[in-house]
Amino acid sequence: MQDLLNEYQTIGVDKVKVWVKAGTVDDFPTNGGACIKYKKKQIAVFNFTTMSRWYACQNLCPHKMEMVISRGMIGDKDQIPKVACPLHKKTFSLENGTNMEGEDYKLATYPVRIADGAVFVGFSE
């Protein structure tokens, strides 16, 4: 299980080596998410329309190791955008992946770029 979790490491925009096209803007529901696959990774991509922002993070919830985060509900707490896992409602910051209840769970996050109506997620390899 730890091996699966180790697949996911937060990538800052300065560490991006490849921008992978995740689809077009229209492929993602407004104020919702969808899952893409890149190599062995499942990545949740969120179109946070209300905040006019896009986010990407691992689709794997570190609580019970379920691939469900893309189906989570998004919102904000004190202006910090967040996603709630659909299974047990643990919430994570979409900015840095930390658990918002202070628990020792974390999501890896990835940069998102929009260009010419397409959505790109940044990876280091």
Token couple for 34: 């969808």
Decide: residue 113, CB within 10 A, 0-12 exposed, 13-18 middle, 19+ buried.
middle
78: phi then psi, degrees, rounded to nearest 5: 50, 45
Token couple for 98: 């930390």
| Least distance to ligand FES, CB of residue 117, Å | 32
Near ligand FES by CB under 6 A, which window of 10-18, 29-37, 81-89, 106-114?
A: 81-89
Q: Give residues 85-114 in contact with ligand FES (rule: CB under 6 A).
A: 85, 87-88, 90
Contact 2, 62 (CB under 8 A): no
Q: Which of 63, 75, 99, 113 binds ligand FES (CB under 6 A)?
A: 63
Q: Which of 22, 56, 61, 107 binds ligand FES (CB under 6 A)?
A: 61
**What is the binding site for ligand FES (CB under 6 A)?**
61, 63-64, 66, 85, 87-88, 90
